């Protein structure tokens, strides 16, 4: 199938149109016409080569919303016309213990990311959602509930699941006290999801500048990490902290905010962290943990949860040719919303 997308041709080149072929349908494949594609911070890191060399030209994008165009003969769950999504993975071994219990993101044999990795059967490099079409095996296709606004659902597939999974893992519910560090794409989803689960949520930020923004999405307030007195007063007041800061930083000042047995989960920075003091960890059995997206089943759960609670990420719809501009703004700092490309603007004949 002929398709078109926006690709990075090298680590320092701008994104540019790229015509390429999607594979012919295998028996268990679903062909999808992409309608919306979210722009994730990790797309930018990946194409820039921040996380290692890449197989260029590379089409990023792992927050994909579309409609089923065609299905292989063995596909049972989807029909032509269904509204569907694809997140950060397109395949895994489907045989190990992690795949067995629905945590394909931790597949013992390595899951296949949506872009930039060899296909398990042919070895050809996967290409992501900044494109008109995608072909994915049915086990990695998600159902998009009718109640979700398609134009604002894409970021649930990465930003949503990345914050939903730790909230579920640490059993957040009514009465839980949750802190969220950073109010960018991940942070604002963490706030909305935790509030919908019944938690009391505090946003942690360098200043109280985003107080109105935080309250508007349900947080009870904002705590400025630079305000030593306020930080001291808030000591031992949280059960879970979701740390969405995407750069190297020190978690020590935040660790003291955790109650005994509390956990700080890192979901933003992938790479080195500034050395931290073990004192708050020891003096309260506190933990620092990490978390990576979620399995297919849990990703379906977060989509259904967002539909049920009318949760949508804050999105700004852009045309595909605005991607370089969006990357530039994202590269400069944390933005409190997600760019979502309207892929209907892209034509294979262009």
Binding site residues, Zn ion, CB under 5 A:
40, 42, 92-93, 96, 99, 107, 158
Q: To the nearest whole angstrom, how small is the minimum distance from the Cβ of residue 135 to Zn ion?
A: 20
- Return the structure tokens found at 235: 């000591």
Q: To the nearest whole angstrom, how small is the minimum distance from the Cβ of residue 96 to Zn ion?
A: 3
Residue 112 φ then ψ, to 5°: -100, 110
> What residues pair up with 202 in beta bridges, in sequence order?
179, 221
- Return the structure tokens found at 174: 């009514």
CA distance 4 to 348: 5
213 exposed, middle or buried (CB, 10 Å; 0-12, 13-18, 19+)? middle
Instruction: State which residue, 11 or 42, has the beta carbon closest to Zn ion.
Output: 42
Q: To the nearest whole angstrom, how small is the minimum distance from the Cβ of residue 51 to Zn ion?
A: 12
Q: To the nearest whole angstrom, how small is the minimum distance from the Cβ of residue 280 to Zn ion?
A: 30
Instruction: State which residue, 40 or 214, has the beta carbon closest to Zn ion.
Output: 40
Q: To the nearest whole angstrom, how small is the minimum distance from the Cβ of residue 331 to Zn ion?
A: 15
Instruction: State which residue, 35 or 99, has the beta carbon closest to Zn ion.
Output: 99
- Return the structure tokens found at 277: 């003091």
Q: To the nearest whole angstrom, how small is the minimum distance from the Cβ of residue 50 to Zn ion?
A: 14
230 exposed, middle or buried (CB, 10 Å; 0-12, 13-18, 19+)? middle
CA distance 245 to 270: 10
Instruction: State which residue, 92 or 126, has the beta carbon closest to Zn ion.
Output: 92
Instruction: State which residue, 78 or 106, has the beta carbon closest to Zn ion.
Output: 106
Q: To the nearest whole angstrom, how small is the minimum distance from the Cβ of residue 97 to Zn ion?
A: 8
- Return the structure tokens found at 48: 């820039």
- Return the structure tokens found at 290: 């990490």
Instruction: State which residue, 162 or 202, has the beta carbon closest to Zn ion.
Output: 162
Instruction: State which residue, 58 or 222, has the beta carbon closest to Zn ion.
Output: 58
Instruction: State which residue, 129 or 262, has the beta carbon closest to Zn ion.
Output: 129
CA distance 41 to 268: 10
Q: To the nearest whole angstrom, how small is the minimum distance from the Cβ of residue 39 to Zn ion?
A: 9
Handedness of CA 115, 183, 168, 148 (dihedral sign): negative
Instruction: State which residue, 148 or 158, has the beta carbon closest to Zn ion.
Output: 158
Q: To the nearest whole angstrom, how small is the minimum distance from the Cβ of residue 161 to Zn ion?
A: 9
């Amino acid at each position: 199938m002929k398709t078109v997308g926006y690709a990075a041709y090298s680590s320092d080149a701008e994104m540019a149109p790229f015509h390429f072929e999607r594979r012919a349908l295998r028996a268990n494949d679903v062909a999808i016409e992409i309608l919306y594609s979210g722009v994730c911070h990790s797309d930018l890191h990946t194409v820039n080569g921040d996380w290692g060399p890449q197989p260029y030209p590379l089409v990023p994008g792992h927050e994909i919303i579309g409609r089923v165009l065609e299905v292989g003969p063995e596909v049972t769950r989807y029909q032509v016309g269904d509204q569907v999504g694809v997140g950060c993975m397109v395949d895994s071994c489907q045989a190990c213990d992690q795949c067995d219990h629905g945590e394909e993101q931790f597949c013992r044999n390595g899951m296949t990311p949506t872009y930039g990795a060899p296909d398990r059967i042919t070895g050809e490099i996967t290409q992501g959602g900044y494109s008109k079409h995608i072909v994915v095996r049915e086990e990695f296709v998600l159902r998009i509930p009718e109640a979700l606004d398609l134009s604002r659902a894409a970021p649930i597939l990465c930003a949503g699941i990345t914050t939903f999974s730790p909230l579920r893992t640490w059993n957040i519910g009514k009465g839980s006290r949750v802190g969220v560090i950073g109010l960018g794409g991940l942070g604002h989803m963490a706030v909305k999801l935790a509030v919908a689960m019944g938690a009391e949520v505090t946003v942690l930020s360098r200043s109280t500048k985003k107080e109105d923004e935080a309250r508007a999405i349900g947080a009870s307030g904002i705590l400025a990490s630079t305000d030593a007195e306020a930080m001291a007063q808030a000591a031992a007041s949280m059960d879970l902290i979701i740390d969405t800061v995407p750069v190297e930083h020190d978690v020590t000042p935040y660790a003291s905010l955790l109650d005994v047995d509390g956990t700080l989960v890192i979901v933003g920075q992938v790479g080195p962290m500034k050395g931290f003091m073990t004192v708050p960890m020891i003096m309260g059995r506190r933990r620092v943990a990490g978390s990576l997206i979620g399995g297919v089943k849990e990703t379906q759960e977060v989509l259904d949860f967002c539909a049920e609670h009318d949760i949508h990420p804050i999105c700004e719809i852009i045309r595909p040719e605005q991607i370089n501009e969006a990357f530039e703004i994202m590269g400069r700092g944390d933005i409190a919303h997600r760019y979502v490309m309207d892929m209907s603007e892209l034509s294979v004949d262009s």
